[in-house]
């Protein structure tokens, strides 16, 4: 049998709306039945009725109030942000956006995203303090988009008692949001400022590297993101996979710095004759970067942009197994050829270019201990020119063989 969602008296829901408007001084709306999605009722801040200044200064501690089918009434805040909003500042990207739900992981990620972890700890501390004061049970949901929530069991309560409880929980949540915002503007700002100088130094240096590589190869580059905990990578630059010109030189496709040194890598030479995004990603899908089961790789959502929508945006669609089989034609580059060209450019540019053991990729690296930034740039330039020249030579040979 289909479970039937109980209905709340319209007059009571109207009273909840009026109560929240009285407590917050802001307009609230009542959800239409078609939008309840299993809830008995739902009252929410009606931001469409707010001016821009009101919206920007809004206390979002009681963004919404709802009753569930089991009689639980919840009061919840707006989201603080998306946890990957910090990737621009710290260069770290959470692939598993639910990993911070486990408090034991907070300390593990503190080094990568110190400001984020500090705010989650502060929010949880504020919640605990206000729970003692108001007798509530505010909790922090620390997943993809963190927010605060409190609830109570309203089964057996009369309307008056429900309204009293809603007011008590709403006032606690508003105070929590106020305290959270104060922390952001004071302690949070200080934490951000302490790490800003070192972050900006890396940002400026990385921009200089991108400009240098673009001058050498004429390819496009973007900043890289750390996705692994304690990866040891201080910064990275990666070739843009959204480039329109696949004939560009991809001799330098990934650059990273660790505490030990800086390493430069070419793109995979099996993709050297790819003419467009479909061919390029099909080769990757068929194992052109790392070996892997085709079905498993299909699930990783390789796509290509094949049309433009009515807004003029490029629309991507997944590459199918049929696409991959048809267009994923790898260029077979002889390991001996790679070794020979690596040896040639090593001698000509005075660097040590090597062939990676597990894939047809060239790489070169150097230690950075004692080197100043300008000296690092000089070393990167020499090695980038060597890798770019190696790409050109192998590209010419690969074209002549296909002809």
For residue 82, the enclosing domain spans: 10-193
Of the three residues 143, 174, 193, the one that is the final residue of a domain is 193
Domain stop point among 161, 193, 225: 193
152 with 225, same domain: the answer is no
Tell whether 5 is covered by a domain. Answer: no
Question: Would 308 be classed as within a structural domain?
Answer: yes
Residue 142 lies in a domain: yes
Both 206 and 226 in one domain: the answer is yes
Question: Residue 40: in which H helix or E strand, if any?
Answer: none
pLDDT tens readout for residues 103-146: 999 999 988 888 999 999 999 999 999 999 999 999 999 999 99
Q: Are residues 135 and 213 in the same domain?
A: no
Q: By the 8 A CB rule, do 117 and 55 touch?
A: no
Provide DSSP, 356-385. Answer: -SSSS-EEEEEE-TT--HHHHHHHHHHHHH
Is there a single domain that holds both residue 214 and residue 179?
no
Cβ pair 111, 233 in contact under 8 A: no
Sorted by sequence, the CB contacts under 8 Å of residue 264 that are 6+ apart come out as: 252, 254, 255, 363, 364, 365, 380, 383, 384, 387
Q: Using the 3D structure, point to which of 193, 216, 247 is the last residue of a domain.
A: 193
Domain count within the chain: 2
Per-residue confidence (pLDDT) for residue 67, from 0 to 100: 96
Residues 39, 112, single domain; the answer is yes
My answer on whether 65 and 205 are in the same domain is: no
Q: What is the pLDDT of residue 326?
A: 86
For the chain (403 residues), the mean pLDDT of every run of 10, in chain order, is 55 96 96 87 94 92 95 96 86 88 93 91 97 96 96 95 97 97 94 79 89 94 76 84 76 93 94 86 68 39 59 70 83 91 96 92 96 95 97 84 53
In a domain, 4, yes or no: no
Residue 249 lies in a domain: yes
Mark whether 285 and 138 lie in a shared domain. Answer: no
Distance of alpha carbon 323 from alpha carbon 367, whole angstroms: 43
Are 224 and 231 contacting, i.e. CB atoms less than 8 angstroms apart?
A: no
pLDDT value at position 293? 39
Same domain, 171 and 295: no
Are residues 103 and 225 located together in one domain of the fold?
Answer: no
Return the structure tokens found at 59. Answer: 């206390």
Burial 293-306, CB ≥16 within 10 A → b, else e? eeeebbeeebebee
Domain co-membership, 297 together with 358: yes
Residue 361 lies in a domain: yes
- CA atoms of 247 and 395, how far apart (whole Å): 9
The CATH number of the domain holding residue 57 is: 3.30.1460.10
Same domain, 188 and 213: no
């Amino acid at each position: 049998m289909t479970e039937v969602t109980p209905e709340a008296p319209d007059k009571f829901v109207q009273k909840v709306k009026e109560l929240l408007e009285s407590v917050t001084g802001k307009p609230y709306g009542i959800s239409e039945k078609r939008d309840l999605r299993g809830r008995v009722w739902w009252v929410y801040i009606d931001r469409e009725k707010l001016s821009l200044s009101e919206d920007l200064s809004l206390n979002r501690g009681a963004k919404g109030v709802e009753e569930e089918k089991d009689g639980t009434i919840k009061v919840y805040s707006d989201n603080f942000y998306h946890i990957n909003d910090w990737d621009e500042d710290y260069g770290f990207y959470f692939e598993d956006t639910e990993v911070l739900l486990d408090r034991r992981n907070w300390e593990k990620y503190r080094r990568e995203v110190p400001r984020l972890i500090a705010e989650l700890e502060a929010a949880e501390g504020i919640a605990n303090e206000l729970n003692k004061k108001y007798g509530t049970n505010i909790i922090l949901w620390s997943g993809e988009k963190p927010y605060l929530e409190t609830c109570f069991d309203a089964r057996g309560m009369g309307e008056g008692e429900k309204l009293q409880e809603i007011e008590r929980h709403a006032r606690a949540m508003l105070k929590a949001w106020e305290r959270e915002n104060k922390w952001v503007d004071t302690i949070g700002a200080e934490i951000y400022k302490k790490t800003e100088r070192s972050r900006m130094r890396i940002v400026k240096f990385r921009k200089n590297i991108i400009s240098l590589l673009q001058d050498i190869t004429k390819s496009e580059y973007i900043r890289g993101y750390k996705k692994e905990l304690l990866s040891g990578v201080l910064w990275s630059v990666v070739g843009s996979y959204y480039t329109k010109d696949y004939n560009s030189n991809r001799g330098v496709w990934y650059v990273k710095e660790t505490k030990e040194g800086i390493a430069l890598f070419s793109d995979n030479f099996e993709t050297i004759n790819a003419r467009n995004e479909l061919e390029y990603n099909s080769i990757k899908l068929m194992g052109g970067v790392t070996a892997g089961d085709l079905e498993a790789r299909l699930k990783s959502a390789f796509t290509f942009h094949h049309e433009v929508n009515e807004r003029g945006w490029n629309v991507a669609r997944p590459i199918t197994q049929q696409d991959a089989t048809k267009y994923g034609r790898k260029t077979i580059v002889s390991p001996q050829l790679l070794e020979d060209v690596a040896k040639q450019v090593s001698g000509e540019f005075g660097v040590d270019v090597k062939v990676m053991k597990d894939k047809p990729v060239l790489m070169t690296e150097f230690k950075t201990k004692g080197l100043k930034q300008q000296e690092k740039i000089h070393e990167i330039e020499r090695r980038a020119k060597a890798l770019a020249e190696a790409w050109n030579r192998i590209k010419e040979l690969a074209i002549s063989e296909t002809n």
